[in-house]
Chain A
Amino acid sequence: MGTYALLWQDICGFKSEVRRKMKILSKEDFSEFVNSLVNDESLNVIGVKSKGNKFAFGPLESANELRLDYDVTLLPPKKYFFPQRETLFTYSLANGQSAKNPAETKATVIIGVHPYDIVALFHMDEIFRETKSDPYYFEKRNSTVIIGVNIQKMSKWNFSPFMGCATVDYGYDLMLTDLGNRYAISVGSQKGGELLAKYAKNVTSALTRDITLVGQKKREIVNMSNQKFDFPTDLIPELLKKTYGESGFWEEHSEKCLACGSCVLVCPTCYCFDVKDNPDLSMENVERIRTWDGCLLEDFAKIASGENFRPTRPTRYRHRYFKKGKYLFDRFGFISCVGCGRCSSNCLPNIANPVDLFNDMYHESLNMGLHVAAAATPEVNIQSEGNIDYVPRLATIVRKEQMTANETLFEIKLDDSSELGHKPGQFAEISVFGIGEAPISISSPPTKKGTFEICVRKLGNVTNKLHTLKVGDKVGVRGPFGNGFDTDALKGKDLLFVAGGLGIAPLRSLFNYVLDNRKDYGHVVLLYGCKEPRELLFSEEMQAVSRRPDVDFKSTVNWCPDNEAWGGNIGVITTLIPQVSFDPDKIYAIVCGPPVMYKYVIADLKGRKVPDDHIIVSLERRMKCGVGKCGHCQINEIYVCKDGPVFNYSKIKGIPEAL
């Protein structure tokens, strides 16, 4: 048999497979089908309805309300899986005891999802599944049936054909195609087939002409867009890469940005969120809620100290395009834009249309004589194990030691007497009841058993309130999170600790671990500096360290007021570096301090010929969820909470937002 005959057999086989899975329902019977779904009180039936001169997904009361001829909905259907505001759990303000939010048990049917929104849900699935699954998202996702509909009218902003998302062959339970007096219904899952069998009457199998018609419609849809890319969209990741540093380009394109967040809030693949505590008025119970957030908003990357890691409109504007077109592509292998055009249509100054921006970028790259080739498909290795637990473990403050006017050391014991089980350099999310959660690095070494310590500065709401708590008071603990220092890799090495101010807090965990296993490590130097003598942390411990023959310890203050006593070095931390001797090839420098400190310390270490891969830094960002989901701690493509907070300098020196 020749090749063509084989191919013909394949096509026939495919057609019979399609025919088996494609059903036909007259429009009257389809209305009956929808009405019988609506009438089943065990189901929550959602459909596309008109809202003013626009459309929105909402609860259906009858098939008459359904508008399958819509162009685009105001918000994508993700709101049913990842709602604008969602209670994660509630807890008692008095003792922190939590009760899980009762799960929504009602099965949901969503009718009228366009293919691009189905692809977007697939992106959301991947994002919420990575590392650990988000149970709140998947609980709703798994109890929902998606009835898609092929696009009949395309919004003028839609460019889904260019993103390969105008039609879809997966991700739905049923997919409708309007064939005039009837719907062709492709059955995409067993769930979909069962729904149709149970609620629809007079279902027939599709005839060849129906299958041909559906194919024809789908080909027409691909040509319906009013938008036009001047280049193949698989160039986007490389194009972005080449344009990152063109600050003029980003300033010009974001000049009119209102920082209103509309583009990200209406996006079907945006998933950033904030977490807040909301007590009831009787001050008995508190709900911990999560709400949509957006990286375009001014305070998105701001931390309690007031430091904003993405403070300007151009940098936030750029971040959005990079997140969609580069960072998620590198991580998941897809450009996380489905071409729905919602961002374009919701931007009043009209600067959010990705088609316009990428076309400009493409032409600019041609003008600059750049040759842009499609990026190789990244190696995607998404691991997922278990569920995220947003509910903290209860713990008790067993010791409180005021260190300075603004900093206190808390010793905390988990109420179930378990160990926190952390590695040096990791952090925990500490809950103060009624106020909220904050990421705090663990100051004690894992060699200390039974309890752990955190050294906390009064900065924001959580840390301010934490300072008012007494020994015996309860807190909540999630974690440990982050990678921590690789204590094994550092074995046998010489270590140079450089700590500025509160940067000593995470470094102390490693430093004390090294002291507890002193014979495993080589020469140890600790350089510690702060603003003035009264701000020195762990002063007694430091004095003890200074007496140890096996540690070279130096400390400094930036200045010393007349009324304070200080016999040591005066000057910024870098003034200590020339005072210590070390072998640059053997030493590993471990650096933590305020954001401004890194580049000076690193420059001086490089001046002393310390190789880049011998410099290890611990970074601070707004780590809200701790599990690589909420987006706040992101530095370009990395999540500090998950990929960090400890980084080898050689790995991040090329990452512009890092230092």
Chain B
Amino acid sequence: MKPKVAFFDFAGCEGDQLQVANLEEELLTLLGQVEVVSFREVMKEHSDNYDIAFIEGSCTRLQDEDRLKQIRKNAKIVVAIGSCATIGGINSLRNYKELDEVRRTVYGENAKLFDTYAARPIDAVITVDAYVHGCPIDRDEFLQVVKSLLLGKRPDIPTYPVCVECKKNENVCAFERGQYCVGTVTRAGCNSCCVNQGTICWGCRGLVDNPNENSHKEVLIKFGLTVDDAIGKFKLYFGWQEGKR
């Protein structure tokens, strides 16, 4: 019997689910392996009977926790997809500000109607079995993770930084091009896709387990960034991981 899968979203742009919807031919092959029972972005049907739950988005308010816990209860395997869900992502930028200020900025006069708390990855609320990092997720990596789960294998998520993939892809280092990159401390697995295209690594997959952050901040400053800009480079995606909670 094919495992039943369901997709859920919390605070996020739904771009990760869009990556899944955009799998094109591979989507058909994938549907030969799994039965999708809930996927709001592409279908009307919904069922609470599922084996694998893919969850996109951060948890940004207390009342979302109940829904997350219910999904955890229903699913055998919970997979966080996308930076917002795996590391808090870009949502955790707001954790650097006063929450009242954040609410007033977004909701103006109605701010008091919208409760909120520090943006957090979903593993801050429930146990997560597997991660598909990235902003947005890489389609190939998503498929790798799905295949691993179907085989009963713990997905192989790199513990090394993006530099490894950059070197294998024979990219000219972003620093050599006069750019500033955080690939040295960011978890690989994206096949260094941004640097391959001539831009930089923004850090969307989060910090590696044991980053040498001080050394990398020194590198950024040595290559010409101001201290504030160097710290700013770490704020974009790493807020929650850097302890801003």
List, sorted by A's number, 27 A–B pairs whose CB atoms are closer than 8 Å: A51-B172, A53-B176, A74-B171, A74-B172, A75-B167, A75-B170, A255-B215, A256-B212, A258-B212, A259-B160, A260-B160, A260-B161, A260-B184, A262-B163, A262-B167, A265-B164, A281-B147, A283-B33, A283-B147, A292-B168, A298-B208, A299-B159, A348-B216, A349-B219, A435-B153, A464-B152, A465-B153
Judge if A543 is at the interface, Cβ distance under 8 Å.
Answer: no
CB neighbours (8 Å) of A464 from chain B are: 152-154
Q: A259-B210, A260-B161, A349-B215 are in contact. Are A282 and B168 (CB under 8 A)?
A: no
Central interface residue in B143, B152, B170, by most chain A CB within 10 Å: B170
Judge if A297 is at the interface, Cβ distance under 8 Å.
Answer: yes
Central interface residue in A53, A74, A257, by most chain B CB within 10 Å: A74
CB neighbours (8 Å) of A266 from chain B are: 167
Q: By the criterion CB–CB under 8 Å, are B160 and A281 in contact?
A: no
CB neighbours (8 Å) of A260 from chain B are: 160-161, 163-164, 184
Judge if B30 is at the interface, Cβ distance under 8 Å.
Answer: yes
Question: Interface size bucket, B side?
Answer: 35 or more
Q: By the criterion CB–CB under 8 Å, are A298 and B219 in contact?
A: no
A279 to chain B, nearest CB (A): 5
Which B9-38 residues have C-beta < 8 A from chain A?
26, 29-30, 32-33
Selected contact of A297 from candidates B147, B150, B164, B176, CB within 8 Å: B164
Question: Does more than half of chain A's interface fall in helix, strand or loop, or is it mixed?
Answer: loop
Q: By the criterion CB–CB under 8 Å, are A349 and B218 in contact?
A: yes
Q: By the criterion CB–CB under 8 Å, are A258 and B156 in contact?
A: no
Q: A51-B172, A281-B143, A346-B173 are in contact. Are A258 and B164 (CB under 8 A)?
A: no
Selected contact of B215 from candidates A52, A257, A299, CB within 8 Å: A257
Q: By the criterion CB–CB under 8 Å, are B212 and A259 in contact?
A: yes
**CB closest residue in chain B, given A266:** B167
- A355→B208 CA distance, assembly (Å): 30
A260-B160, A465-B151 are known; give 10 further A-B pairs, CB within 8 A.
A85-B168, A259-B160, A260-B164, A262-B167, A279-B147, A297-B164, A298-B159, A298-B209, A348-B219, A349-B215
Q: By the criterion CB–CB under 8 Å, are A281 and B29 in contact?
A: yes
Judge if B117 is at the interface, Cβ distance under 8 Å.
Answer: no
Interface string of B203-245 (1 = CB under 8 A from A): 0000011111001101100010000000000000000000000
**CB closest residue in chain B, given A351:** B215
CB neighbours (8 Å) of A75 from chain B are: 167, 170
CB neighbours (8 Å) of A282 from chain B are: 29, 32-33
Q: A257-B212, A281-B147 are in contact. Are A52 and B159 (CB under 8 A)?
A: no
Judge if A461 is at the interface, Cβ distance under 8 Å.
Answer: yes
Central interface residue in A74, A84, A276, A348, by most chain B CB within 10 Å: A348
- A484→B176 CA distance, assembly (Å): 50
Selected contact of A313 from candidates B29, B154, B212, CB within 8 Å: B212
A293 to chain B, nearest CB (A): 9
Judge if A595 is at the interface, Cβ distance under 8 Å.
Answer: no
- A257→B160 CA distance, assembly (Å): 13
**CB closest residue in chain B, given A261:** B164
B35 to chain A, nearest CB (A): 15
Which B111-165 residues have C-beta < 8 A from chain A?
143-144, 147, 150-154, 156, 159-161, 163-164
Judge if A468 is at the interface, Cβ distance under 8 Å.
Answer: yes
CB neighbours (8 Å) of A435 from chain B are: 151, 153
Judge if B175 is at the interface, Cβ distance under 8 Å.
Answer: yes
Q: By the criterion CB–CB under 8 Å, are A258 and B216 in contact?
A: yes
Judge if B44 is at the interface, Cβ distance under 8 Å.
Answer: no
Judge if B190 is at the interface, Cβ distance under 8 Å.
Answer: no
- A262→B147 CA distance, assembly (Å): 30
**CB closest residue in chain B, given A274:** B156
Judge if A56 is at the interface, Cβ distance under 8 Å.
Answer: yes
Judge if A96 is at the interface, Cβ distance under 8 Å.
Answer: no
CB neighbours (8 Å) of B215 from chain A are: 255-258, 349
Which A270-291 residues have C-beta < 8 A from chain B?
276, 278-279, 281-283, 291
Judge if B185 is at the interface, Cβ distance under 8 Å.
Answer: yes
Judge if A434 is at the interface, Cβ distance under 8 Å.
Answer: yes
Q: By the criterion CB–CB under 8 Å, are B218 and A298 in contact?
A: no
Selected contact of B185 from candidates A79, A258, A434, CB within 8 Å: A258
Judge if A228 is at the interface, Cβ distance under 8 Å.
Answer: no
- A84→B171 CA distance, assembly (Å): 13
- A257→B161 CA distance, assembly (Å): 12
Which B43-67 residues have C-beta < 8 A from chain A?
none
CB neighbours (8 Å) of A256 from chain B are: 212, 215, 218
Q: By the criterion CB–CB under 8 Å, are B210 and A348 in contact?
A: no
**CB closest residue in chain A, given B148:** A461
Which A426-450 residues have C-beta < 8 A from chain B?
434-435
Q: By the criterion CB–CB under 8 Å, are A258 and B147 in contact?
A: no
CB neighbours (8 Å) of B170 from chain A are: 51, 56, 74-75, 79
Q: By the criterion CB–CB under 8 Å, are B161 and A258 in contact?
A: yes
CB neighbours (8 Å) of A258 from chain B are: 161, 163, 184-185, 211-212, 215-216, 219
- A259→B188 CA distance, assembly (Å): 13
Q: By the criterion CB–CB under 8 Å, are A348 and B151 in contact?
A: no
Q: By the criterion CB–CB under 8 Å, are B160 and A297 in contact?
A: yes
Q: By the criterion CB–CB under 8 Å, are B172 and A53 in contact?
A: yes
A368 to chain B, nearest CB (A): 28
Judge if A54 is at the interface, Cβ distance under 8 Å.
Answer: yes
Q: By the criterion CB–CB under 8 Å, are A346 and B167 in contact?
A: yes
B58 to chain A, nearest CB (A): 27
Interface string of A50-69 (1 = CB under 8 A from B): 01111010000000000000
- A262→B210 CA distance, assembly (Å): 16
**CB closest residue in chain A, given B169:** A84
Central interface residue in B147, B184, B215, by most chain A CB within 10 Å: B215
Q: By the criterion CB–CB under 8 Å, are B167 and A54 in contact?
A: no
Judge if A294 is at the interface, Cβ distance under 8 Å.
Answer: yes
CB neighbours (8 Å) of A460 from chain B are: 154
- A258→B186 CA distance, assembly (Å): 11
- A255→B218 CA distance, assembly (Å): 12
**CB closest residue in chain A, given B211:** A258
- A464→B152 CA distance, assembly (Å): 9
B163 to chain A, nearest CB (A): 4
